[in-house]
Amino acid sequence: MKRSVLSLSLTTGRFTSGARVLPSFLITGAQRCGTTSLYRALAQHPLLLKPVLHKGVHYFDVAYWRNLAWYQAHFPLRVSAALLGHRYGTRALAYESSPYYLFHPLAGERIAADLPGVKLIVLVRDPVERACSAHAHELARGYETESHFEYAVELEATRLAGAEELLRDSPLALHHSHRHHGYLARGRYADQLDRLEALIGRERILVLDSHRFFAEPESIYDRVLDFLGVPNLGYPAFERHNGRSLPRRVSPVLGRALRDHFEVYDARLTRWLGGEPSWRR
């Protein structure tokens, strides 16, 4: 029944896509870094309009074979946005959240081409914790078959070998491991941010430390609204969503190896965060 309702809603959206808004900003990742929690907090603001159907549309990563009208069909009507803008005296902004956008090698180019002027919000987290959380997440969803995190990390290089080249050479291709098994690769945030900077521009990318978001949600929320140019109309209820209990702690040897691996990438985050990442202190 739910699937039928979603299908009907999307069909209706396609017929009216020309009368709908496109997003003004995107939460592009990183995976397992609090994107759902931020998405739901922002959805409580009357001037921030989430997609009609679901949180992540995934147009710019795995559904780009569809057209822009299909993407636009997921968002609210212009007349609804205009009424809200008139009521509050400032423009309403649509948005979505698809964490694979940050990691997919072509998503940034597609976003820049189809959404000129769009702003991006990126959350980052201790990359070792993120890797453990991602493994538990993919295991629970059935996308990972190796139950031992240590062995999944060992397999990563083999699983992802040639993935970026394939995705670039065959733009409509999908790569299961690139999407689901990038435990270390997706935690090398600086590389992904540098790629986006060249396409979008530094001034249109806001990078947030997710540890600080959960510790000081009001101040981070204020930063987001200021970045978007939207007034604060009251704080929402801040809650954690999609959290998972982490598996047993990694061995001291692997933990040190992972810290050493991420050190150079974490150091490069300072200019994005305006200070040291919280997990390096």
Residue 165 has pLDDT above 70, yes or no: yes
Q: pLDDT digits over 34-84, tens only?
A: 999 999 999 999 999 999 887 889 999 999 999 999 999 999 999 999 999
167 vs 14, higher pLDDT = 167
Residue 8 has pLDDT above 90, yes or no: no
Q: Which stretch of DSSP H or E encloses residue 207?
A: strand 205-209
* DSSP codes of every residue in 49-114: E--SS-S---TTTT-TTS-HHHHHTTS-BHHHHHHHHHHHTS--EEEEE-GGGTTSTTHHHHHHHH
Q: pLDDT digits over 216-236, tens only?
A: 999 999 999 999 999 999 999
CATH class of 2-280: alpha beta
Confidence of residue 281 (pLDDT cuts 50, 70, 90): confident
Query: What pLDDT score was predicted for residue 56?
Result: 87
| Helix 252-267 × helix 189-200 angle, to 10° | 20
| Mean predicted lDDT score pLDDT of the chain | 93
Domain ranges of the chain: 2-280
- Whether a cis peptide bond, with omega within 30° of 0, leads into 30 is yes
Q: pLDDT digits over 107-158, tens only?
A: 999 999 999 999 999 999 999 999 999 999 999 999 999 999 999 999 999 9
66 phi and psi, to 5 degrees? -80, 175
- How much of the chain exceeds pLDDT 90, in percent? 86
